[in-house]
Amino acid sequence: MKTFEKKPINKIVRGSKRARYDQEQVYKILDSHFICHIPYVFEGTSIVIPTAYGRKEDSILIHGSLKNRMMLALLEQEKVSLNVTHLDGLVLARSVFHHSVNYRSVNVFGKARLIEADDEKMEALEIITENIIAGRWNEARIPNQKELDATLVMAIDIEDASAKVREVEAADEAADMDLDIWAGVLELEVQPGKLVANSDNKPGLAEPESAKNFRFSNNSVKRG
Amino acid sequence: MKTFEKKPINKIVRGSKRARYDQEQVYKILDSHFICHIPYVFEGTSIVIPTAYGRKEDSILIHGSLKNRMMLALLEQEKVSLNVTHLDGLVLARSVFHHSVNYRSVNVFGKARLIEADDEKMEALEIITENIIAGRWNEARIPNQKELDATLVMAIDIEDASAKVREVEAADEAADMDLDIWAGVLELEVQPGKLVANSDNKPGLAEPESAKNFRFSNNSVKRG
């Protein structure tokens, strides 16, 4: 099993017992989310907005319009990084100081490159779509040539990465253990809510299987 | 009502009909979340990890340990930006090309400054804690002097900001309206899950009101 080398850029300095460098865990966290944050530099300021992604082997795939300011900036950068985080719970300690959150978080570092061949673009769009909501690609009308030409598709090749995971109960100071204060974890989950049909849908169309089967990955707290 | 001026740094170029510049909407989105993404520069690379925040008037408040790499880097930067995003739904169009997500997203731009006075630090920690989970500050043991001294507290004064909101149903090409493909929105919600008591809790402690009352803000899709 591959392990990412610890370098200054990806080494977890604080809370190092929560660090994970094995590729299997890093990819598991990446594959159970679909929104990442990729900072880019505009006029000297680092800016970040969330964007959807998918993973193919050792690359993160993203897409946008031909004039997407973020993507065009990323292509100019020597190195690109991105973060993916699952927020799994609020850690309620006896002391405010030891309050925390449970999470699974990955940072990836690499270089951005354009994907230009039509077949590779199409494959990347399928991977991204299926990573957001499995089964949707085969339900919807896939991109035509005009739409493909209007889409910028990019890979960020994963050179370095690390994960940080907190998945345990609250940890208080020994001196606080006798306080009459409840400690524990309030788990948080991203859940599908209502499925709202378009007002202009053709009559009689069944709700899609992709939406009915949608699940977002969630972890549970481990007892200490 | 104050409106943020459109400048190159905060102007929404693509999807400008989804742009919002009024302070009321920007602050409403900020106040209904508690995790933000603040990119910082390390060895020439922009990096982002999520962090908890609260708002006091025109400042975003964050905290961390005295050696927090991100916070120390932010203090050195001429300008700091951050993003807050609610992911409200998956927009399932008839065409893959018009798939999207519904969201409420804010980017804030400003300057970071250290908060050093004990009373201001304490107030900031209360604001951050209460923004994460209302009512918890009064349930837990508040920070003592040693803990306060070990905590870095920082304000990012909001100079520029803008929001982008998508909250409508799927929008397809006219040529696709006759396809037998269901279109609509699968709403997503962050929900509290299980409340897991610490294994070392004193017996007989009631579950805290803060956890029982916890709600995360969610929007519903508007019909087109």
How far is Cα of residue B67 from the mean position of the Cα atoms in its chain? 23
Q: Report which of A10, A9, A68 is spatially closest to residue A42, judged by C-alpha positions.
A: A68
Alpha-carbon distance B2 to nearest alpha carbon in chain A (angstroms): 23
For residue B9, count other CB atoms closer than 10 A to its CB: 18
Q: Does A181 contact B140 at a Cβ distance shorter than 8 Å?
A: yes
From residue B12, give the alpha-carbon distance in Å to each of A48, A65, A163, B172: 13, 14, 32, 22
Q: Which residues, other chains included, contact B116 with Cβ-Cβ below 8 Å and sequence gap of 6+?
A: none
At residue B216 the predicted structure's pLDDT band, cuts being 50, 70 and 90, is confident
From the list A43, A92, A205, the residue facing B9 with the nearest CB is A43
What's at A17, amino acid-wise? Answer: K
Q: Does B87 contact A178 at a Cβ distance shorter than 8 Å?
A: no
How far apart CA A20 and CA A22 sit, in angstroms, is 6
Residues of B in contact with A202 (CB under 8 A): 177-178, 180
Instruction: Provide φ and ψ at A216, rounded to 5°.
Output: -105, 135
Q: Does B199 contact A143 at a Cβ distance shorter than 8 Å?
A: no
B126-153 confidence digits (pLDDT tens) = 999 999 999 999 999 999 999 999 999 9
Q: What is the pLDDT of residue A221?
A: 55
A157-204 confidence digits (pLDDT tens) = 999 999 999 999 999 999 999 999 999 999 999 999 999 999 999 999
Which of A47, A100, A103 is the best substitution to test chain B (most B C-beta atoms within 10 A)? A47
Q: Which residues, other chains included, contact B79 with Cβ-Cβ below 8 Å and sequence gap of 6+?
A: A44, A45, B109, B110, B111
Q: Report which of A224, A189, A202, A49 is spatially closest to residue B48, judged by C-alpha positions.
A: A49
From residue A49, give the alpha-carbon distance in Å to each of A197, B13, B82: 28, 14, 9
At residue B220 the predicted structure's pLDDT band, cuts being 50, 70 and 90, is low
Nearest CA in chain B to A64: B97
* All domains in chain A, ordered by first residue: 16-212 (2.30.110.10)
Q: What is the pLDDT of residue B218?
A: 58
What is the percentage of chain A residues whose pLDDT exceeds 90?
Answer: 90
**Is B223's pLDDT higher than 50?**
no
Which of B97, B136, B162 is the best substitution to test chain A (most A C-beta atoms within 10 A)? B97
B54-108 confidence digits (pLDDT tens) = 999 999 999 999 999 999 999 999 999 999 999 999 999 999 999 999 999 999 9
Contact B118, B65 (CB under 8 A): no
At residue A223 the predicted structure's pLDDT band, cuts being 50, 70 and 90, is very low
A84-116 confidence digits (pLDDT tens) = 999 999 999 999 999 999 999 999 999 999 999
**Is A222's pLDDT higher than 70?**
no
What is the percentage of chain B residues whose pLDDT exceeds 70?
Answer: 96
A5-20 confidence digits (pLDDT tens) = 999 989 988 888 899 9
Residues of A in contact with B151 (CB under 8 A): 97
Which of B43, B149, B182 is the best substitution to test chain A (most A C-beta atoms within 10 A)? B182
Contact A215, A100 (CB under 8 A): no
Size of interface A-B (CB pairs under 8 A): 307
